[in-house]
Amino acid sequence: MSQPTTDTTRLVLASASPARREVLRSAGIDPVVRVSDVDEDAVAAALPDGTPPQGVVVELARAKARSVAATIADLATDCVVVGCDSMLLVDGRLQGKPHTPEVARVRWAEMAGRSADLITGHCVLRVRDGVVAAEAVDCSSTTVHFAKPEPEELDAYIATGEPLQVAGAFTLDGMGGWFVDRIEGDPSSVIGIGLPLLRRLLGDVGLAVAQLWGHSAD
């Protein structure tokens, strides 16, 4: 006999990203979505000078997960909160969301026809009765080889607005996929949540991924 929903472990995605949600849904998990109120720029600015890129994305993911973990008392008594943050490492510099067409154009001028590393930080918190009982963090890195869009193609892509709100000013699973020649690494990590890494981190907090399959977010 299956257990009631209130006794099962719920996965809470601390992200507004539709792409991350769809990765999880396609992989058998319909997450509860709770968006954090973390000021990403403030978190990054507060880190010590010389923090490596991997440390930056992990701390951003941790801040998002912890922010949401403090707000889920209305959910099941056993939850796992997943926070993620992605940034593109180009010439040793991390690039997040461009936000404006002008910045997106500059970013593409730097990366077109080249390769860069998409780094995604993951933080998994096991929350029992409102208390964080376990934490696991790590990051994944995938090399992205970019095509060189024609000027009119880049104009049209930027005009869609898609690249303005995504790390590195591109997507793999959307219109930006036309301008990615190939990748070396995990495709799901480039989309924003790496399934192989997440599976390992869930194990670190005492969960097998199959325990989360098929549970509805409702």
User: What single letter denotes the amino acid at residue 204?
Assistant: D
Could you say which DSSP state residue 78 is in?
E
CA distances from 26 to 16, 21, 30, 214 (A): 17, 9, 9, 11
Where do the DSSP E strands lie in 14-147? 32-33, 78-90, 93-95, 115-128, 131-146
Which residues are part of the catalytic machinery? 85
The Cβ of residue 187 has, within 10 Å, a number of other Cβ atoms equal to: 13
Residue 77 burial by CB count (10 A; 0-12/13-18/19+): exposed, middle or buried?
middle
Residue 86 burial by CB count (10 A; 0-12/13-18/19+): exposed, middle or buried?
buried
